[in-house]
Structure formats: structure tokens, C-alpha cells
Structure 1
Amino acid sequence: MNVTGRLIACGLLTLSFSTVADIDEQIEFEQLDFELVSLSETDTRVVRWRDEQGQPLTAAHLSPKAHQGKQALLLKSDGEKRNFIQSIETSFVGETLNLSGYIRTQDISQLAGLMIQQFDFRGNAIGFEFLKGLTGSTDWQQYQISTALNENTSSIRIGGFVVGAGQAWFDDLSVTVDGQDIALAKPYKPTLLAADTDTEFHSSSQINFDNVSQLQIDNLSKLAQVWGLVKYYHNAVAAGEYNMDAELFRVMPAVLSATNADQANQHMSDWLAKMTKVEACQPSCVKRDTNVALRIDLSWINDSARFGTKLSQQLQHIVANRRFESHYYFGFNSSMGVAVNNELSYGQAHQDTGYRLLALFRVWNLVNYFAPYKSLTTSPWQQVPQKFIGQFVAAKDKKQYEQALSELLSQLDDGHAYLMGDRGNQLVDLFGEQLAPVKLQYLEGQWVVSANLQPNTNELQVGDVITHIDGKSVKAVEQELWPLLAASNDVSRYYALQSRLLQTDKPQLTLTLASKKAVTVATVPIAEVYLQVLQPIALAEHHVIDGKVGYINMTTLKPEDVAPLMQQYQQLPQLIIDLRGYPLGSVWTLAEHLFAKPKVIAKAQYTNINTPGDFMLQDVEVGIDNPNPYRGRIVLLANEESVSQSEFSLMVLRQAPNALVMGSQTAGSDGDVSQFSIPGGYQSQFSGIGILTPNEQQTQRLGIVADVEVTTTVEAVKAGKDEQIEQALILLNSDKFERLVSSKSARL
């Protein structure tokens, strides 16, 4: 994940005021040209617009440097986030909402742009889109973003932002629905279902207890399975007749009170009997598709010894007679990944045992039914409820609750599955409010200082090797943090450690170096340096090396810039395409210039809506008929910062006829994410689409294996050298290149 991706994880684009209900109600966007300052001479507030704290903007936010008219809105930042927003209490009939506007920037260090958020009737965020890649200094230019309208949207928020230092001017915004001005669009409000209006447990689960017996753990583990199957397979639940959180809190007390397994089974059976009867589906029963790549194992519902004969039969009946074409709790996003719907995040879950157990049950079942990679976890996913129930019951404060959630999510072995709270993934209750202003890299089995962000305050030098933190060996600190990190492999886990090793509540840390020297480093509030600590290695902009090698930085290449850049590079004999960071979605367009004809470059596993847990297999094709593709040599650069879309891009581009991958192991987290809420105001996600090679080989956890391995060394960091670029230039001009190309089919 590069800067753009990290902004979401760090919470830097998260609006920090409460819910849509707190904003002045209005049903249409106004003041999109920022010409009206106030409603009266004594009122200096900018009409309709608010800042990141929910406070009205004032005339101080306006500037005469307008795109047209008298004034534009100006956001200035010295490193903090700055937002301006406006909300309306409605949605619209249509497919796509578009926000466009003119933006001018000056010295933007990180990111500026536009954003759209969608909320359901409860105020829960259910959609977020923002402009990516706008940095530096630019003159007035029109930009736009689009998002699919969610059928559950009750309110919409639009605005702009600046992250990092710099300033940006915004003017002449425009909002359309399916290309039509929003003033002409038909308003839409979702119909509330019985599940929406069941609010009995919205403020408390009414379940609190301190200790749990082994019998209760066994019975709760069964309840997790039964509740999840009913949630995703029962026809009435799919239709929105039941709030399944509330149903869990209604049946859980009886299950907890059971004095043996049979009683618990009976309580669950009685609960099911009260729900809407599932009618026999004949002759319209759902038939399992034959093109199933992954088939969920539901054989446990036949285990009458464990669940009892009656409950087992009820579960079998629900599965056999399912028939729904849409579902209240899930759907599909624009990438055909699972969209998790109608999940409440509630309030102070760390103070409520029922909410905490709901968090465990929700995460476990989402993964069980919608994660294509659950069979790749180190610990069997079926054992997770038994393993974690005691820990979730015992978590009595935010730190313990965040620890339980982090350890649970780490069981997915999925780098996408990190925990986010109200300050993104800073998680200060768990890891601390302070951070040493030092960037680390794990190189050659050692922790190395790769950047000192405040060199005037300490004696650390780039290249210093750290062995101890406050007298504790860095290996011991690693072991403490290891179970809390979301990662697909060891490489990505070490990468995640870079920002955690020096996060603390202490005002200073003493770092012992390999030279035995002890250096005291003052820590600072985490918000001041977190983004800089996470900043990926600085990559060069597009340029030509030695007059013959075209260098492409995929982290800044926009789809619309591909054609002119490739026209410039078309006659060059060699390319270096750098994917050591997160790209901007340009791989599809770039592939059209590298392939002579369309090509299947991957297989994708998609959820089958009729049988949750089954995954269908589909070819992923890129390219067009191009009689004149680029024919030169290509080296693709990769490392631990190549994650998700970057890894997919590597999969695509390495199949160009003369392309090789050089670098080190990638993060091993490939596939579009499915996001969801967790009780307590937390969010997370998991890889919701499985990505395989064209030969149906696994990439998750393994990453993209380089044709030529080149790792960064401590000496290179000290010298400020980019060894991968240097080695790529050597490879491009060697006979070894052709030998590797001729043999690479065996490695695809």
C-alpha cells in the first residue's frame, strides 16, 4: 500500500465528527461555486460548508484566486488533514454519482482531492471514493470522481481534502447522477425493513459476564456456527425480516444458561422454530453451479451427535430450501467482490460482553462464507471460535479489546485484514500515543535506520542497526508484536512492524545500536510523524535513462497518461516499470500497449450469491488487438511494498513477451477487499476475491516470485543507492535476459 492507500488506513481521510444526523438537514447540494459567503452581514460562516470537525467554514477559508467568479475555497495545512464537506439527507434513483470540480494546488506534500461518502439510515458509512494522486503544485484543472450509488444509501456527503503540508484551492463543483445534473435527479429513500426497525439492542446487548466455562465455550462455538448459517442461508433473513444481531442477543442467554450440550441444542432449535418457516422450494430449488472453484463444507450440519437430531434437521432444511437472488446482509461491489451490508458498529463494545462476542461471531462468519483464502490460514479457521471466546469475554478495556481483535484478524494471514479505529490503524490504546520520529527497514535480518525524521533532536544516522529498545532486545519486541499484525507472509509482517516497534506511551526511548552506543530518542505525538514513518521509498518520476531506457513509476502513472507516455517510449529498446508501491489503476491501459492481442492473465474466484461459501472461477483478460505493441525488453521491479493491486499489476505485466520481474518477495495479499464494521466503532477488511495464475496456482501468501532476486542491503541504504535499479540496468543489457525470458513460462 502506498501513500494513498495508507491515508485510509491511518484515518487521515476519515471525517472526525459524528454522524450525518448531526448535520443541518438539507436535500440538495448548494453553494458549489463558493460565491455566497453568509446569510447576513454579521454572519461570517460560509453557507452550507463545514470543516473536518463539523464546524461551519468561515470567510477565512475563501480566496480571491478563483477559477471563475469572485472567490474559491482554500484549504491550508501544515501537515494535518483538512477537509471541507456538505451533506444531504437523501439519495437518488440512478446508477452512478459523479463529483467534479476545479482544483489548484501549491506544494502539496501528500495528497489533495475530492471525496464522496455514502451513509445508510443509521449514519453508518457504506461507501467512500476519493481522488487519488494529486500532489505537488498544479494550476487550475478539472477533476472528477464517480461512485456507484448504494441501494441502502440514505444520505450523501461530498467535499475535498488536503493531507500533509501545502494548500489547495477548490472551485465550481458539480454533482451529477448518470450524467444528469443532480437538481434534475429523482430523490430516493430506501424502504425500511423489519431488520432495520428492530432496535431493541442498539444501546446494549444486555449480556454481561466475567467468566466462561469450557461448557459455555463449547456451546457458544456451536452457536457461532448455527447463527452464521441462519444469517446467510435463511430465506427470511435474506429478505430483511430479521436483525441477526438482535436475534443473537435473544438466544445467547439461554445457550449460556444450558447445563449441558443437549440443552444448548434445544435452546437453539426452539429459537429457530420461532422464525418464519422455510417453505419447501420444490420445484424451484437452488442447484449448485457446476463451475465451482471452491465448495464450502457444510457437512457439519449433518452432525446430529454434536447438534442434536432436531437442530441438525432444521439446518439441513434451511440449506436445502434456500432461494434468494439478493440478500439483506451482502451483495456485490463494482469489482464483483462481496459488499458487506447492514452491519452495525455500535458503541463502547469493550464494556459489553455481548457486543464483543458479536464481533467475534461476525468476523468468523464473514471469513467462513466470503473469504476465498480461508483454507490457506496457518491455524484452521474452524478452530478460531473455541480459541478466542475466552479472550473476548475477558477483554475489559479498549486495549484488551483491540488486542483480541488484532489477534483474531491476524489469524486470517491476510495483509488486507488490519484493524482500524477512529484514528485509522494508529490504534493508540493498544500500541501507544507516541512514536519515535524514525523510519526503519528490516534488512539482512536487522532493523536499520533508513530515515531520521528529526535529525536535530537525536544522534541516529541512516544505516544504524538497532539491537535493543529500552534495554529489551529488538527480537523480543518483535515476538510481542508478531501476533497482533495483519500480514500474509513474514515479509509483510516485518513491513508492518516498521511503524509499531517504536510506538509507545513513553516520552522517550533508548535505542541501543550494534556499535553498543545508546541513543536517546524523544518521541512525539503519533499524528505528527505517522504518515512519514509509513512513507514508502521515494521513487523517481518517469524519465529516460541513458537515452535508451524508459523508466515508468506506476505509483504516479494515471490511466489517462499511459498513451502519451508510451508514445514517447515506443521506440526505446528497454523499459523499467517500477511497482515498489501502490499503483493508480493504470495496468489495464498499459497492457493494451504491451500485448499484441487480448490475453488471460489470471483466474478470479467470485462468491456465488445463491450458495454463500462457494466460489466461481472466471478468466481475467487484459489487452486489445494491437498490431504494434511495445517489443523491447522490460524489467518489472518489486519488493515488500508491492501489495494487492501492485501484485496484480505484476501478474499482468510479467506476461508481456519480453518482461521479467526483478526484486524481492512481495506482500502476498492479492484480490479486491471486502470491508466491514466491527462493534466498538472499528472497521476491517479481507481479500474478498481470490486471484490465481492462469494455471490456477496460488499467489496469496506466496506473493509474486521474482525471476531475478535482488534485495536491498544495509550498505545500499547507507550510501543512498537503489540497487534494484542498478541491477535492472545490468540485466537489460546482458545475455542472461534472453535465457530467463525463454524459460519464464515454467514460472508463470
Structure 2
Amino acid sequence: MKRISIITIILLCCVTALKAKSNIDSLQIAGLCKVWGLAKHYHPSVTKKKVDWDKALIDRYPEFKEENDFEAYNQKIGEILNALGNNKETKIVTEELFQNIIDNDLSELESFKFLSDTNKYVNRISFSWINDSIFSKEIKYRLCKILTNYKPYKSKFLKGGMVLKHPENKFEELDSITEPYRMLGLFRYWNTINYYFPYKHLSDNNWDSVLVNAVSKFSEADSYLKYIRELMQLSSKINDSHGYYNYTTHKYFKKKTEVNDSLKKKEGYIPYNFKLFDSTVVISKVLLDSSALCIGDTVIKINKTELKKYWRIYGDYNSHSTENRKVSLCESGLSNFYNSEFSFKIFKNNDTTIITESRVVDRETKVASKYRKPPFSYSINENVGFVDLTQIKFGKLEKALKEFKNKETVIFDMRGYPESMAPLALPHLLSRNKQDVASFYSPNKKYPGVFVKQPTKSQHYRFAIAKPFLFLRKQFKGKVVVLINAEAISYSETVCMIFKAYCDDVTFVGTPTTGANGNISTIYVPGGMAFNFTSLDWHFPNGDQLQRIGIIPDIYVQETIEGIKLGKDEILEAAIEYAKKSKQ
């Protein structure tokens, strides 16, 4: 919730302002970014931390802001490469020597021949930019030599095993984020995604174009808040629902957050939750015993915030894999507004009305409103049982499954994120045999940009933690119905994949899940900020894509405004009706 609140602050500050245009050459700075990234990941002086590559950029960046012609630009690129040491490649490059190296396909280079095994490796990086016209033959040659001379070495910038960690200097205590540090933030983020994000090719945006467009924006972001906004916009371009703004420890923003947290105690959260239908915002839950507004009321404006405008800009600052997830995130953002009182412009009875709500709710009430209430398992009727897999604990699930073992149908609710490891019992519940749940590729530490296929034996999900469920000597053979929506993300989608792998008769009811699965890595940028992204290339066992698609329901059921007004759970009701018809 803290992350949502920070995002809300930033969105509410997004007022269009006139800015002085930068004279910066975006193509040249984009070229510098790629050169810097190549050296960071493939030159031994940087991977072994013999050279402070951040400092080299910070010190020399101001020279690239000047107006540079072709010769001056390449001279400065050569000078920054000289900081790597071992400058033997500065000799004059003949046409024959240049063509000999530039024409070679990457997979033919001695160090990269392993890429020919396409069943085991996936190459997600291209070095074709080295041949861009902004670079001289001498610079192209030197960049190619970094690759041809490369010997596999585990970079000191990488930690962790299958899931990589990217430890960096966060520059938390800077008094201000000057342009060289802002560019370092852009270069770090862009290159980490370029080399380690497996779904770059699935984005709506060309990653090279994103870089060029971002250069002038980061150059002009002359305050800490503007810098954060540009980073958030940059992170939204990867179209990954794991790609969210994580936290900040910068003293300026920490102080601002402390002030905001103090205001929340004096003020409070908005006493309503909201649902979006297209671009229409409707009250879905009232958190007060008596209130100014009712469930089903259409809200046009909250205080000074036009909700249609809020919806339009929300996707610019929040990475989302699908439109369904964008809607879900926007609903959370609206539901976390806080103030001492709220003025609502609503549409009701074919007319607009202004209503003021002077009462608010505390944090505990707001958090509790996001979760379904117990019981988390119960018999719907003699033939159908219900289990909320997002809330139920391990021991309670064991008890529920014993009670339901003779039911014809069990409905599992996966509309959310599991609070426990209880779903890992499912393979024992549904089958005695091991099944492949997923296949995936993980980043190759020694070859940034390459992903290596992992053995499927670890993807059976029959873990020792589930041993208490070995009492199920006779596996459940009835029908399984799973409720899903865009609140199901990551681990939740893995649970859905377990159902698909281990259950002979499973039906998904609701709307598509988020479409973001695979373990998360984090990028640290100057100013003490962190941004997450999905770092594993995760698929169904047959290779079908999950990212940006999600689990698609067999029975599509969308909530309606009328259903919300009547207090219905339309997805659950559809599942019960399906179970009844299946019996017939």
C-alpha cells in the first residue's frame, strides 16, 4: 500500500508545465549509453571492478552535452573507452580489417559458438548497433574487439543464483540529482533491461526508440520529483506487471514520505473502494456505517482530480502486462487517496451533484477492506465445496480437503495472491504422478543477454513442505473450478499452472490473470530508488507464452455495475451454476 500511495502522490503532481527545450543530441547520448553498457557487461576491467565505470560516465558526461560533430563525438567515445586501460586497439583500422570483424555473425565468434544450440539457449541481445553510422570505423572496431576478446567471467556486478541481484551504488545521500547522475540512472535502467529482461521483445515499445526518446526528458528533469516521474515512465515501457517502482531511501523523498505518513495519521484514507468499467469509476465498497455515497454511484471527480484524466495518465507511470492489470492498479490507486475530507462530483439520476464526505478511515480499515473475510473454506451445498486459496493457511486447507474429498466439485478462489504456501499441496491432492508445470530460461551470468533453459525436474512442485497431504491416498477425481481475475499475478499464476498440469478436469471462470510470472530482479538507480522486473523467461511446459497473456478463462465472466449494486459475486455465482449444470 505504501508503494501505491507514493505513486498516487506523483500522479497528482503531474501538472503540465512549460519546459526549456534541451539542445542535447539524443542519438549521440543513446550511442554513449550502449557503449557504456557493452563495456559494463563485457569488458574485464569493468566486470572485475578494476575501473569505476559509474565515475567514468559521471566525469565525462558533460563533454557529450556540448555540440559535437562526427569527429569530436568519436574522439570523446574513444577517450571514455581509454579509461578501461589496455588501449592497444587504438591503431588505424584498415577497410579490410574493419570488414573482417564487422561482417562476422555473433554466433560465429569463438566465445559465442554455444548459441547454435537453440534448444538450450535463447539470445535476447543484439549488437548490430555497433555498425551505426554515428560511430567511426575505429570505434566500431574497438567495440567489436571487446566482444571477440571476451572470456566468460562472472561479473562482480551480479549476485545470486538463478535469480540475479544487481548490487550498485545507490548514491542515496546526494543533495540533488544533477544531470550526470540522472543519465547514470537512465543508462543503468536501460542496459539492465536490455541485457537481463527476457520479455523485451514482447513490449509495445521498441527499446532502442525508448532510449532515444528518454534522453532529452532525463536531461530536462531538473528536480528530484521530475526525475522520479521520468524513471517511472521509463519502467512503464517494458509492459511488465512486475516492473514496479519499489522504494526509495533518498533523504529528500524519505523526508517527504515521512511528512505524508504524518498527514495520513492526522487525516485518513478515502472511505470507499472503487471499480472501473471502461473509463467509468463506480463505488464498489463503503467502509463506513453511514456515508454520503452509495455502492454503485458513478464518481467523476475526487477533490481536484478528474478521474478520466487520472485513468488516462495512469498507464504512463505504471508498468502493466495487460489492460486488465492496468484497471486493477488504477482501482487500487483511487482507493488509496487520503485527505481530511473529500469532495465528490458524482453522476446520479441523470444529473451531476457535488457531495462532501468529512469522515475518513484509518490504515487498518483500508488494508482490511482489500481482503475477503472468513470463512475461507465451506460447503456451498452437498455437492460443491469452496476454498479461498489466497487466504487459507496450510493447516486449514488440510482440514478442508479432508471434508471435501467426496464432493463432486471443489471451487478454488485464486482472485488474489496467496498469503501462504498452502497451494503447494495441490499436486498431492490431484495426482500421484509428477507432472511438468512450467518450463523456463534463466539469465546466463557469464553471457549477459543470453538465457539458458533450466531442467524441468524442478518444476514438478511436489515439495517436502506438502508431506502432511500424503494422507490423500486416493486423489481427488471430481471437477475443479478455479476463479481468476487480474488480481492473480506471478505465484498465483503458477498455482493456476499447477491446476492445468495435475488436474484432468479443471475449468477457469472469470477474467484473464495478469500475465506476469517468473522471479523478480531489482535495478538500483542514483537517488536510492529501486525498480523491479521479471527476470525468468517463464512458459507452459509446451512452450506456450504466459507473459502478457495470462491464464485465459474457459468461462468468461465480467463483473457488472448492476451486480456490484446488488452485492453479488458474479464470478462465484457463475462457477456454482456451472457446477450444477455439469452434474446434470
Coarse TM-score class (shorter-chain normalised): 0.7 to 0.9
Work out whether 1:305 is the aligned partner of 2:133.
yes
Matches of 2:87 and 2:359, distance apart in 1: 59
CA distance, structure 2, for counterparts of residue 501 and residue 225 of structure 1: 38
Q: Which residue of 2 aligns with 1:574?
A: 409
1:221 Cα deviation (Å)? 0.7
**2:498 paired residue among 652, 667, 679:** 652
Does 2:437 correspond to 1:609? no
Cα pair 1:639 1:666 within 8 Å, conserved: yes
Give the C-alpha shift of residue 505 in structure 1.
7.5
1:469-484 to 2 correspondence within 5 Å?
Answer: 469=302, 474-484=307-317
Q: What is the DSSP-based 3-state SS (H/G/I as helix, E as strand, rest coil) of the residue aligned with 2:449?
A: coil
Task: Give RMSD over aligned pairs.
Answer: 3.5
Q: What's the offset of the Cα at 1:568?
A: 3.6
Which residue matches 1:544? 379
Structure-to-structure mapping, 1:578-727, within 5 angstroms: 578-583=413-418, 584-618=420-454, 619=456, 621-622=459-460, 628-655=474-501, 656-727=503-574
> Does the C-alpha gap of structure 1 residues 638 and 474 become closer, same or farther in structure 2, counting only changes over 3 Å?
same
> Secondary structure of the residue that 2:198 maps to in structure 1?
coil
Partner SS state of residue 463, structure 1 = coil
Displacement of 1:517 in angstroms is 4.4
Larger RCO: 1 or 2 (CA < 8 Å, sep 6+)? 2
In structure 2, C-alpha distance between the alignment counterparts of 1:567 and 1:423, rounded to whole Å: 48
Q: Structure 1 CA distance, aligned partners of 2:319 and 2:305?
A: 23
Q: Give the stretch that moved more between structures: 412-421 or 623-632.
A: 623-632
Alignment of 1:281-320 (within 5 A): 285=111, 287-289=113-115, 290=117, 291-303=119-131, 305-320=133-148
Runs of 4+ in 1 over 6 A off after TM superposition: 7-11, 423-430, 523-527
- The separation in 1 between residues aligned to 2:360 and 2:146, in whole angstroms, is 53
The answer to whether the aligner puts 1:438 opposite 2:267 as a matched pair is no
Check 1:568–1:729 CA distance in 2 against 1; reply closer, same or farther (3 A cut).
same
CA contact 2:340–2:360 (8 Å) conserved in 1: no
2-side partners of 1:399 and 1:524: how far apart? Answer: 30
Structure 2 CA distance, aligned partners of 1:268 and 1:506?
A: 55
Alpha-carbon distance change, 497 to 221 in structure 1, aligned in 2, over 3 angstroms: same
Structure with the larger helix share: 2
Contact 2:441 2:452 in 1 (8 A): yes
8 Å contact 2:301–2:345 — kept in the other structure? Answer: yes
Taking structure 1 as the reference length, what is the TM-score of the superposition? 0.64
The change in CA–CA distance for 1:544 and 1:321 in structure 2 (over 3 A counts) is farther
Letter in 1 for 2:486: E
Correspondence for 1:512: 346
2:74 corresponding residue in structure 1: 265
Question: In structure 2, do the counterparts of structure 1 residues 349 and 568 end up closer, same or farther at CA, with 3 Å as the change threshold?
Answer: farther
Give the partner amino acid of 1:587: P
Q: Determine which of 52, 62, 67 is the counterpart of 1:243.
A: 52
Kept after mapping to 1: 8 A contact 2:279/2:311: no
Conserved 8 A contact 1:491-1:665: yes
1:84 — aligned with what?
none
- State the secondary structure of the residue aligned to 2:547: coil
Calculate the TM-score normalised by the size of structure 2. Answer: 0.81
Q: Structure 2 counterpart of 1:373, which letter?
A: Y
Residue matched to 1:553: 388
Q: Work out the CA distance in 2 between the residues paired with 1:523 and 1:679.
A: 40
User: Is 2:284 aligned against 1:450?
Assistant: yes
Residue in structure 2 matching 1:389, options 197, 215, 229: 215
Equivalent position of 1:213 in the other structure? 23
Given that 1:654 and 1:661 are in contact with CA atoms closer than 8 Å, whether structure 2 keeps it comes out as: no
SS of the residue 1:599 aligns to: coil
Give deviations 1:111-164, integer Å, cap 9, x for gaps.
xxxxxxxxxxxxxxxxxxxxxxxxxxxxxxxxxxxxxxxxxxxxxxxxxxxxxx
The CA distance in 1 between the partners of 2:367 and 2:516, in whole Å, is 23
- After superposition, give the CA deviation of every residue in 1:622-662 in whole Å (9 maximum; x if it has no partner): 25599732211100110121111111211221331111111
Describe the SS at the equivalent of 2:245: coil
The Cα shift of 1:277 comes to: 3.4
Distance in 2 (CA, whole Å) between partners of 1:561 and 1:706 is: 27
1:72-102 C-alpha deviation (Å, 9 max, x unpaired) = xxxxxxxxxxxxxxxxxxxxxxxxxxxxxxx
Measured at CA, do residues 299 and 539 of structure 1 come closer, stay the same or move farther in structure 2, by a change above 3 Å? farther
Structure 1 residue 488 and structure 2 residue 321: aligned? yes
- The CA distance in 1 between the partners of 2:210 and 2:476, in whole Å, is 50
User: In the alignment, residue 621 of structure 1 is paired with which amino acid?
Assistant: Q
Contact 1:663 1:711 in 2 (8 A): yes
Q: Which residue type is aligned with residue 591 of structure 1?
A: P
Deviations 1:378-419 (A, max 9, x none): 111111121111111212223322221221111111111122
Q: Give 3-state SS (helix, strand or coil) of 1:344's partner.
A: coil
Q: Quick one: distance in 2 between partners of 1:566 and 1:238?
A: 52
Aligned partners of 1:728, 1:529: CA distance in 2, in Å?
32
**Matched letter for residue 511 of structure 2:** S
Instruction: Give the whole-Å Cα distance in 2 for the aligned partners of 1:705 and 1:718.
Output: 27
- The amino acid that maps onto 1:224 is C
Give the superposition deviation at 1:473.
Answer: 5.4
Partner of 2:64: 255
> Matches of 1:326 and 1:490 in 2, distance apart?
38
CA distance in 1, matches of 2:174, 2:61: 20
Report the Cα distance in structure 1 between the residues aligned to 2:358 and 2:537, rounded to whole angstroms. 41
Amino acid at match of 1:511: K
Q: Tell me the alpha carbon deviations over residues 215-263 of structure 1, each in whole angstroms, 9 at most, x when there is no partner.
A: 2x22211111111111111123222223322121133233233522332
Instruction: Give yes or no for the alignment of 1:734 onto 2:581.
Output: yes
- Relative to 1, partners in 2 of residues 1:609 and 1:421: Cα closer, same or farther, differing over 3 Å? closer
C-alpha contact (below 8 Å) 1:450/1:717 kept by paired residues: yes
- Take 2:532 and 2:23, find their aligned partners in 1: how far apart are those partners? 31
Q: Which amino acid aligns with 1:475?
A: K
Distance in 2 (CA, whole Å) between partners of 1:460 and 1:590 is 42
Contact (CA 8 Å) 2:385, 2:411: kept in 1 or not?
yes
Residues in 2 aligned to 1:230 and 1:630: alpha-carbon distance in whole angstroms: 56
Measure, in 1, the Cα distance between the counterparts of 2:575 and 2:175. 51
Cα 1:261–1:543 shift into 2, 3 Å: farther
2:245 is the counterpart of 1:411: no
Distance 1:211 1:446, change over 3 A: closer
Q: Alpha carbons of 1:698 and 1:507: their partners in 2 closer, same or farther (altered >3 Å)? A: same
Amino acid at match of 1:272: L
Letter in 1 for 2:379: V
Q: 1:321 to 1:538 in 2, by over 3 A?
A: farther
In structure 1, the residue matched to 2:187 is 361
Q: Structure 2 CA distance, aligned partners of 1:265 and 1:510?
A: 58
Aligned length: 529
Structure 2 gap segments, 5+ residues each = 7-18, 90-108, 463-469
**Structure with more of its chain in strand, by fraction:** 1
- Say which SS state the counterpart of residue 601 (structure 1) adopts: coil
Bigger drift between 625-634 and 689-698 goes to 625-634
Q: Do the aligned partners of 2:24 and 2:65 also contact (CA within 8 Å) in 1?
A: no
Which whole-Å CA distance do the structure 1 matches of 2:121 and 2:357 have between them? Answer: 53
Which letter does structure 2 place at the counterpart of 1:466?
Answer: V
Q: Equivalences for 1:321-332 in 2 at 5 Å?
A: 321-332=149-160
Amino acid at match of 1:212: S
1:540 positional shift? 4.3
Q: Structure 1 counterpart of 2:222, which letter?
A: K
Q: Secondary structure at the match of 1:576?
A: strand
Shift of the alpha carbon at 1:344?
1.8
Q: Which amino acid aligns with 1:635?
A: V
Alignment match, 1:198: none
The CA distance in 1 between the partners of 2:538 and 2:582, in whole Å, is: 33
Structure 2 letter corresponding to 1:461? C
